[in-house]
Structure 1
């Protein structure tokens, strides 16, 4: 067979160079066999670590519950296609014809009768390695996988008779299955892991299985997959280091006030209400990325709520408790420390949802302490809440409540897994391949350290949130009940800066935009580039991403986007200008606690240090 080589990396005019297979040929079978035995020994250790807490009854494995839900949902799809033999045959024929075409093309390349095609632009970064196209074997796997994935998704799309929620669940589960079954995730169907195994004689698997055992041990019987080198970070040492003091503490939160860096500060203090689902220091990762430090440098007197990492003692702490002992407690603290009753408030994600409910409650009580509110990636209307709604229906919420009732809280790892599943092809499987198949330690990345530093959710609080927001959408519909009152966001008349991010998978921009219409006062809607975290934590000096604004307020998000104008860089200065336009009066800088409160501890306090 002719093997005239082209200039680009050893490709041949016949489309296949047999010499390219050299990297996949085992050179030292004895060393390979020895390392395979050692890898299996480490795999056995991993299995022992996984089994031990289950045998002792220390860990009740809930894996069957989501599997049952998935099987039940997918059965609805299968029933439709199997009910009519004609539909079944047509669907199978369509798949087989597509696969047969790829198979014939691959045979032609192997036989040398089909010239190599120019490489396709890489659209899926899972298949960025050149051999996914250059090598006929891997090229066939790649194309067959993409065909089958697309076919499976279309089966769901074309299934008739499904209600919207079931179709949403089925589509989500299909994406999870196809992401898991990607040839990238298996040792000998991924060219990189195949070559790595051959070149190291299997030493990568020895290390990978050792890491698997360590990660299961770290999860106390559950897999706690490492995404970063955690040894490089420590809260209070090189993360969350903006100087400040804890000036007050309740059962559910600590309140931190930060040291001023300017001689004059805005008269209105700034109170930040972060989500309790994650820790507050996403806004204070390091001095270069810290939104908190940037605000201090702009002349804000910054207070931050640091939520407790709850345990069984907090089981009955519900939304009202988080408002009274969290938001209201922090407002009292701000007033004692500064003498000011009016504050500018910020709520991030579910922290913004809680803040919105608190403002609606305050409106009925005549409480006017929050003079303006900024909402980061916050949903108050959950009509278009995205893939997280897959996990929320009456049956699933009831089951979750029963599990939370037994221990008083939801383990943080469960919520972290749900968030990772929203982007499993980026947040789960690449780390599975890198850690356990390649045997490589992950890089040090502060954002992923924070992401892994998960928190528990108090049972009553989480149950109230799921039912009133995701399940019944009570807040936007004026049906939420708190402290004997029925809340309406139309009662909230203060100016609101409502920030969404364009690629958000947790609080979709369309959902955030829809929520803007729920409030009774002026709302400035701003759309940032990137996603739920990077679109918010975007310091101006990085000159990254962009943001969009528009004076128009059409009913649909898509129409707003057409009307919006784009500005390069961070939205932070735009927000600062909005704040100063509301009230730019300045006073002398304030020390933490003022004359009324003594410091309890240095920032970032003790609540944030509790690990799951």
Structure 2
């Protein structure tokens, strides 16, 4: 399949005075970095090939970026004698605390350990860590961790990005050296080895060999028969009623005698398969909406290969969001549509909605954004992986491959929570010999997709690195768009523990929109917080409403003024959608619109979902 001819995503430079000027087209990512040196293109190609080779060895991490960060940090630290004395005193204090604890000379009767693991650190939960000598191993590591946390605090004059990157790299190194990773220092591993006669290490070696083989062959483990897409995953009944080269559009079968007049379009992220929103029947957001009397459509994205390297960000808007809206409008002529975007799907939906507002297209009844960012100045720890040096590495690796591989993307996300997603997993799998327990969400999580070279480069540069969408410099088809032009009401979801789209970053949508807006902050992370079905134990959320005349509240003040409520935000959203819909229910629509060329093609979940 050949890539579609894409409209070029345009961006707008500024004049010297800082005001928008004539729109400029984003240079395709495949063009030479220095266009005025086209006669030296062969030299540039050699440079890019060299960087691509290095990037493959480092999994896309730029050693230049890390080196520059350490150089910046250490040069400023070398000229800060006060900080140096502070760190020397901290080391001395920690050594004294360790000595007193080891000798039992502390003043407290119970000899309470001087250092405690950070909240959420489960590596030292085993009871064996409370007894010597393992308690001393643990305390020495925690004392080192405490010192390094202090040592990597910001030094006056250092670039904040450098400080954050040094702190991140230091945490990665500490995680490697944790005594919990050693079969000789971890009491849980030693106890398991004694109990099984070493069979845990034998099983662990088999797991390790299997994983290494899959790494070299670029294959992934097949899920067990317990979970199967189309049977008990992504199993809400429906039909694919439209397909193009980039997406399939699924219309779900009604489950009620009457439905809301306005349909819902869900735009998922293309970094993963859509069925995170249609997981098991009991936690499927799509099934819940259909059961509540809504007609639901969702996009299922094509998994691009190297042949689609030139798919652009605007292709995802045109051939994804807009093509789906056009198809739904044929089934519901003259009816407005509720649009919902998740993660990257929310970002492209925001761009599409702003473009529609600019062009006087008023088909949207509302806009819902699930853990989706529109402003990227506070995009969390993912920004540690992005500056000009790092982006050049990623671009050249994608230039060589034609896409960003799913494992290369997953590596960056795992690094954000290395102690849990890398090292704890390795201990369980390779040293304790335990098989990984399979869940519906873990099956989905391993079923990721690729990112086309040109689109991902445009996304990283135009949005992440340069933040053009909320700075008034993002243009579509040669004309600038603005989120504040959107008149449709917003429903925004942030999750408390999100490492990918931090909730304070998601909340910033309130700064750049003027229409009615409801913001919800729910318990959980980027995926778990969205999967918050009614009846899910231990769930809570905060909810607040903003009318156009209200003044801005900063996120922390907002959280203080909106106490948590027990339960699921799904119920709140369903009620909100009803409020924004026509009061009278109608008969369910036909499946597709055969007279308009939208006949059912295949049963849900379609064909694109099975592309690997």
TM-score by length of 1: 0.84
Query: Aligned partners of 1:364, 1:523: CA distance in 2, in Å?
Result: 19
Query: Aligned partners of 1:76, 1:204: CA distance in 2, in Å?
Result: 45
Contact 1:284 1:290 in 2 (8 A): yes
Corresponding residue to 1:283 among 277, 284, 298: 277
CA shift for structure 1 position 335: 1.9
Please show how residues 142-541 of structure 1 align to structure 2 within 5 Å.
Answer: 142-220=138-216, 230=224, 232-541=226-535
1:572 paired residue number: 570
CA shift for structure 1 position 179: 2.4
Gaps (5+ residues) in structure 2? 1-52
Deviates more, 1:68-77 or 1:416-425: 68-77
Corresponding residue to 2:124 among 103, 127, 130: 127
Contact 1:245 1:599 in 2 (8 A): yes
Query: Aligned partners of 2:189, 2:304: CA distance in 1, in Å?
Result: 41
Deviates more, 1:408-417 or 1:158-167: 158-167
CA shift for structure 1 position 105: 2.5
Q: Does 1:78 align with 2:77?
A: no
Query: Aligned partners of 1:155, 1:192: CA distance in 2, in Å?
Result: 31
Query: Aligned partners of 1:550, 1:293: CA distance in 2, in Å?
Result: 26
CA shift for structure 1 position 475: 0.6
Q: Structure 1 487/138 Cα, relative in aligned 2: closer, same or farther at 3 Å?
A: same
1:559 paired residue number: 557
Deviates more, 1:389-398 or 1:74-83: 74-83
Corresponding residue to 2:540 among 520, 541, 546: 546
Query: Aligned partners of 2:536, 2:393: CA distance in 1, in Å?
Result: 45
Contact 1:338 1:593 in 2 (8 A): no
2:579 paired residue number: 581
Query: Aligned partners of 2:81, 2:566: CA distance in 1, in Å?
Result: 55
CA shift for structure 1 position 541: 2.4
CA shift for structure 1 position 423: 1.8
CA shift for structure 1 position 187: 1.4
Gaps (5+ residues) in structure 1? 1-56
1:601 paired residue number: 602
The SS at the match of 2:571 is helix
CA shift for structure 1 position 198: 2.9
Contact 2:522 2:569 in 1 (8 A): yes
Contact 2:189 2:431 in 1 (8 A): yes
Contact 1:380 1:475 in 2 (8 A): yes
Query: Aligned partners of 1:411, 1:537: CA distance in 2, in Å?
Result: 26
CA shift for structure 1 position 136: 1.6
Contact 1:544 1:570 in 2 (8 A): no
Deviations 1:280-310 (A, max 9, x none): 1001111000000000001111100011111
Contact 1:165 1:390 in 2 (8 A): yes
CA shift for structure 1 position 174: 2.1
Contact 1:529 1:545 in 2 (8 A): yes
Contact 1:256 1:306 in 2 (8 A): yes
Deviations 1:227-248 (A, max 9, x none): x965532211221111111111
CA shift for structure 1 position 67: 4.6
CA shift for structure 1 position 82: 4.4
CA shift for structure 1 position 575: 0.9
Q: Structure 1 87/539 Cα, relative in aligned 2: closer, same or farther at 3 Å?
A: closer
The SS at the match of 1:525 is strand
Deviations 1:142-180 (A, max 9, x none): 111111112112111142321122122222222222223
RMSD: 2.6
Query: Aligned partners of 1:331, 1:399: CA distance in 2, in Å?
Result: 36
1:41 paired residue number: none
Query: Aligned partners of 1:465, 1:62: CA distance in 2, in Å?
Result: 22
Q: Structure 1 219/340 Cα, relative in aligned 2: closer, same or farther at 3 Å?
A: farther
CA shift for structure 1 position 487: 1.1
Q: Which has the higher contact order (CA 8 A, sep 6+)?
A: 2
Contact 1:314 1:408 in 2 (8 A): yes
Contact 1:264 1:588 in 2 (8 A): yes
Query: Aligned partners of 1:125, 1:156: CA distance in 2, in Å?
Result: 23
Aligned pair count reads 550
The SS at the match of 1:470 is helix
Contact 1:274 1:351 in 2 (8 A): yes
Q: Structure 1 121/259 Cα, relative in aligned 2: closer, same or farther at 3 Å?
A: same
Contact 2:312 2:454 in 1 (8 A): yes
Query: Aligned partners of 2:108, 2:552: CA distance in 1, in Å?
Result: 54
Q: Structure 1 87/503 Cα, relative in aligned 2: closer, same or farther at 3 Å?
A: closer
Contact 1:334 1:340 in 2 (8 A): no
CA shift for structure 1 position 89: 6.1
Query: Aligned partners of 2:219, 2:199: CA distance in 1, in Å?
Result: 22
Query: Aligned partners of 1:121, 1:172: CA distance in 2, in Å?
Result: 20
Q: Structure 1 590/96 Cα, relative in aligned 2: closer, same or farther at 3 Å?
A: same
CA shift for structure 1 position 536: 1.1
Contact 1:274 1:348 in 2 (8 A): yes
Q: Structure 1 501/394 Cα, relative in aligned 2: closer, same or farther at 3 Å?
A: same
Please show how residues 30-179 of structure 1 align to structure 2 within 5 Å.
Answer: 60-63=56-59, 65-82=61-78, 88=84, 91-108=87-104, 117=111, 123=119, 124-133=121-130, 135-179=131-175
Query: Aligned partners of 1:461, 1:352: CA distance in 2, in Å?
Result: 16
The SS at the match of 2:293 is coil
CA shift for structure 1 position 563: 1.0
Contact 1:229 1:445 in 2 (8 A): no
